[in-house]
Amino acid sequence: MDKLAKKLKADAALIEVQVSDELDRRITASLQGVRPEIAVRPAVQRRPPVFWWASSLTGVAAALTLIAIVNFRSQVDDTLAVSPDMSPVAVATAPIIEWKAESAMLTGPLQQELLDLQSDLKKAEEKVKQEIGL
């Protein structure tokens, strides 16, 4: 590797390069005229303060309206429930949900497994009672 490095250095020393004054000026002018490009960030568009006020007031108004509706309906329901002379048409009743529940039917193998487990538990219980002396 040393021989190769020495040979390259010797060859490089033999190279004679001359740069004319005109080429030197052109290279210098070119290098000075080139500036690094500055990344321009896109301008962030901010919303005007009026937008934030409007959205805040709209949210507050919606919340107050919802509270007023809920309170009004609860007052109407209370007055309907308390009023003795009300007609049956005025009372709105909630629909009654009829739940139809049935016990699950076990299939044959599962039923047999359940019976086997119950008998095993009874046998284990009897052995424990015998060992304890009950």
pTM, entire model:
0.27
Report the pLDDT averaged over residues 97-109.
Answer: 70
**Residue 98, pLDDT score:** 76
pLDDT band at 123 (very low <50, low <70, confident <90, very high): very high
If one compares 37 and 30, the residue with the highest pLDDT of the two is 30
- pLDDT, residue 105, reads 65
Sign of CA dihedral 116, 117, 118, 120: positive
Phi and psi, residue 117, nearest 5° = -65, -40
> Residue 88: is its pLDDT beyond 60?
no
- Residue 91 near residue 80, CB atoms below 8 Å: yes
